Structure 1
Amino acid sequence: MSSAETRAYEVVLDNRYLLGDLIESISLEESLDEIAYRATVTMMVPADFPGIRPGQEIRVSGVPHQGTDMAYLLHPGVVWDCENSYHGADRLTVTLYDRTIYLSKSEDEYVFPAGQTASQRLEKYAADWDIRLYRIPDTVRTLSKKVYRAQSIYAMIASDLKETARKGGELYRPRMTPNGLELFPIGGNETVWALEPSGNIESLTQRRTLEGTVTKVKVLGKEENPESATEILAVESKDTDMYGTLQKVVMDSDITTVSEAAAAAKGYLSGVQETFSVTAIDVNTIRAGDRVHLLGSGMDLIVTSVRHELGRPGKMSLELAAFDYVKRRYFMDGPV
């Protein structure tokens, strides 16, 4: 990392040590499959270096793309892993996460009554775990009774948000900010960056497949008698004439009404599965869950994963998909 690149980015340890002159590379990675934002920093280690140990406070700052002033990119953060190596010189590789990592690594148990919303339950987790909250919208949909036994706090939050989506609610992602933990609406970023195949994009790969396509959905009620057929709450179909019948049967104890079943069934319907892989000039503020615009296609797509290789100019690798794909893949599939 050159001196100009160093001035564009800074790593601060324990709120007092500026590591910029020692940094060789910084990468930032995030995915909708995980909660925490991760940074990997490689640096030279001089003889008088005070040392870095797991658990220390750390942050990454940088000048945003097309910006002029330094801003937080990953803060608050915690040092998680340290690895020293010696090949002609002493180097240190540091892995750090934003502090949502504690929500995925800490377990607890809860019993929640029916009638609460995901945002109300998040307030309970936050109160018990001394987490400061910031911008928590009303998630509106009321949830069923839930008994959580010995699982991570993040797994409970994700379950609450999945049930919200299955009942026709909006899609949200927990995201740590310098002001506290927020519930970020998927695709809700104010600035939507454009990706241009003939401009800032270096490479683009488009994938299309019928694997995962669902053209008919049958939602069943709660099983009352194992020896008799289960009540069918809703049946929805779409594009069976085009792709054939690819049926999914849904049994979800959280769905108790016909309207909820119909909403869930429509959410599972999907045509050809389409995803994009993009390598482009870095826009260092793009996060997983953000919406971007693919010029020439007329499509707005959701970032499902991102890797920033910081520099001037840096490079980013993005995995992208349509909003409906994200809803099915990350909020409708799997247990809640």
Structure 2
Amino acid sequence: MSYKVIIKDKYDITSLVETLSMKDSLDQIAYQASVRLAVSSKLGLPTIAPGMDIRISGIPFNQKAYHPILDLGVIWEVESSNSGTKRLSMTVYDRMIYLEKSEDEYLLPKDQTASQRLKKYAKDWQIRLGDIPDTKVKLGKAAYRAQTIFSMIFADLKETAKSGGTMYHPRMTSKGLSLFEIGSNNEVVELDRLIDLTQMRTLEGAVTKVKILATSESSGDKEVPSKVLAVEEKGTEELGTLQKMINDDQIKTADAAKKSAKNYLTGIQQTFTITAPDINTIRAGDAVTLSGMKLLVTSASHDLGNPGTMTLELGTADYVRRRYYLE
């Protein structure tokens, strides 16, 4: 097997692995692995239990040396069965699972960036930091009440993208918690050895007209209509009117409203799902090319093996911005 699975930096359980799969998505913050083992009491292994450290390494496509696939991992769940052969099924996450499962409260001042806030979350939760680029966009004041750290991070990153900034996604690497600029991977893989390809085209989620509204102000007991800061439309003649109303208290001017409205306009939604021989380094947020089109990976499932298979869901950069950063 071209993979290594190590528990507590001491016990190599690679020879016991029957199946090994990985799952990553722009909807989640922690990389997830599912591992099934066939075990024997004669092996001298410790009792495998939730909370133990675990590392998964593999040989990347067209390379010869092992590299971390899921580093800084933690065993989250263990299920055992015995029908002649004892088997253990483990669910494993990288350390960002603690940010996904933990809640807190933060009152954050305006003019901080998403980078600055991420550093504070990581410090408070004692998570080592990796590469954190300057996200540059100054954010508004935030009052996060009793919610997960995961939701706070994504609220910061969404506000950054809504304000015209770059799209980022958090990743745990061997260096620590990092911010990855969507589509910035150095090696853009050409998907040309496909097992299966499905293309979906739909008007579900399409927007052909947008109204940006100012924050409503009451006038005593009298109800007053919302002030419209901008109206933009595109494709109404061909596709009909599919209108979206946006009320964002961060938008103060007509110019900002006009720019924001254009981000929401979209016609027919197009996505792709492909199954192909596995390339184990592809993650959610990576750019790939398919038939000459540059697309972004929105989710990636890897069934690791020799060579193994992967299933990728793909969309355009505009689709990713609207689906994950503007909603």
TM-score normalised to structure 1 length: 0.94
Q: Which residue of 2 aligns with 1:278?
A: 274
Per the TM alignment, residue 256 of structure 1 is displaced from its structure 2 partner at its CA by 2.2
Tell me the residue number matched to 2:200.
207
1:101 to 87, 97, 115: 97
Deviation readout 1:227-278 (Å, 9 max, x if unpaired): 1111112211112222122110001122223333222211111110011110
2:314: which partner in 1?
320
Aligned residue in 2 for 1:122: 118
Structure 1 residue 45 corresponds to structure 2 residue 39: yes
Shift of the alpha carbon at 1:126? 1.8
Whole-Å separation in 1 of the counterparts to 2:81 and 2:125: 37
SS of alignment partner, residue 236 of structure 1: strand
TM-superposition CA deviations, 1:64-111 (whole Å, max 9, x none): 111100000000100000000112200000110001100011111111
Q: Which residue number in structure 2 is paired with residue 172 of structure 1? A: 168
Preserved CA contact (<8 Å) 1:168 1:260: no
Q: 1:223 aligned to 2:207?
A: no
Work out the CA distance in 1 between the residues paired with 2:39 and 2:254. Answer: 63
Contact 1:45/1:90 (8 A) holds in 2 = yes
Aligned residues: 322
Q: State which of 18, 21, 39 in structure 1 corresponds to 2:12.
A: 18
Amino acid at match of 2:98: Y
Matching residue of 2:109: 113
> What CA distance in whole angstroms lies between the structure 1 residues aligned with 2:121 and 2:252?
26
The separation in 2 between residues aligned to 1:133 and 1:257, in whole angstroms, is 36
Residue ranges of structure 1 left out of the alignment (5+ in a row): 1-5
C-alpha distance in structure 1 between counterparts of 2:84 and 2:277, whole Å: 32
User: Which residue in 2 is equivalent to 1:146?
Assistant: 142
Match of 1:292 in 2: 288
C-alpha distance in 2, partners of 1:131/1:300?
34
Between the aligned partners of 1:125 and 1:263, the Cα distance in structure 2 is 31
1:189 is aligned to 185
5+ residue gaps, structure 2, are: none
1:307 alignment counterpart: 301
Letter in 2 for 1:134: G
Structure 2 CA distance, aligned partners of 1:10 and 1:184?
25
Query: Do 2:135 and 2:166's aligned partners in 1 also have CA atoms closer than 8 Å?
Result: yes
Match of 2:23 in 1: 29
Q: Which residue of 2 aligns with 1:83?
A: 79
The one-character-per-residue Cα deviations of 1:163-202 (angstroms, maximum 9, x if unpaired) are 1111111100010001011110111111110111xxx100
CA contact (8 A) 1:98 1:176 kept: yes
Aligned residue identity for 1:58: I
Does the CA contact (< 8 Å) of 1:141 and 1:169 recur in 2?
A: yes
Aligned-residue Cα RMSD (Å) equals 1.1
Deviation, structure 1 residue 313: 1.0
